[in-house]
Amino acid sequence: MMIMEKMAAIIAGSLLVGVGINFFLIPYHLLDGGMIGIGLIIHYFLGLPTGLGVILSSIPLYIYAWYYEKKLFLNSLHGLLFSSLCIDIFSEAVIDWNLPIYISAIIGGGLIGLGVGLMLRYGTSTGGTDMLAQIISRKSGLNAGVLIFFIDGCVLLFGLSVVDWAVFFYSFLTIIAVAMLTSVTVMRTAS
């Protein structure tokens, strides 16, 4: 039964991530942190599909995890692949909500956070910078949450090369919504 629950969490979480990115972030060229943010930057700059960008940018981290962190590798590979697939499947959807950008940033971030939190609750993830933060935290003793926030901030700063300052600041709303919904989802379902 646990395997079925884990698969359901991966599917539901990945669908939420795909909808959040394509229906709410991409229409306004908003960014997220982590590997999803890097995938969005690649998409905005080169036109590659976002999910493919997430996979390509994750390759070095997954090579490292294969050799040194097998458990993290195994627990996140299927989440990475399925969420990236969902991101690219939903990229063909044309949505014209006409929402204000700040509402889109919050809803998109909330859906992504809910999806990521659901996957984390069942012992899987989309990998990426969450996995990187876990590795660095184990080696250095630094708080993983602080590391994730720092890495996400660096990704956003890097994103200034493809978005303007207004979008950059609205993207902070996205990151805050992702963090809040991920935390609430993990806490509520874990209790």
Q: Each residue of 3-58: pLDDT tens digit?
A: 899 899 999 999 999 999 999 999 999 999 999 999 999 999 999 999 999 999 99
DSSP per-residue codes, 115-153 = HHHHHHHTT----HHHHHHHHHHHHH---HHHHHHHHHH
Our count of domains for the chain comes to 1
d(CA 114, CA 53): 22
Confidence tier at 189 by pLDDT (50, 70, 90): very low
Higher pLDDT: 188 or 133? It is 133
**Global confidence as pTM:** 0.90
Tell me the residue range of the domain where 96 lies. 2-190
Distance separating the N- and C-terminal Cα atoms of the chain = 19
Token duo for residue 90: 């939903």
Token duo for residue 106: 């919050």
Give me Rg for the CA atoms of the chain.
Answer: 15
Q: Residue 63 pLDDT > 50, yes or no?
A: yes
Sign of CA dihedral 24, 16, 115, 38: negative
Q: Each residue of 145-184: pLDDT tens digit?
A: 678 778 888 999 999 999 999 999 999 999 999 888 888 8
Q: Each residue of 89-120: pLDDT tens digit?
A: 999 887 778 899 999 999 999 999 999 889 88
Whose CA is closest to 56, among 72, 32, 40, 75? 40
Token duo for residue 38: 């890097």
Higher pLDDT: 41 or 75? It is 41
What lies within 8 Å, CB to CB, of 63 at 6+ separation is none
Q: What is the pLDDT of residue 145?
A: 66
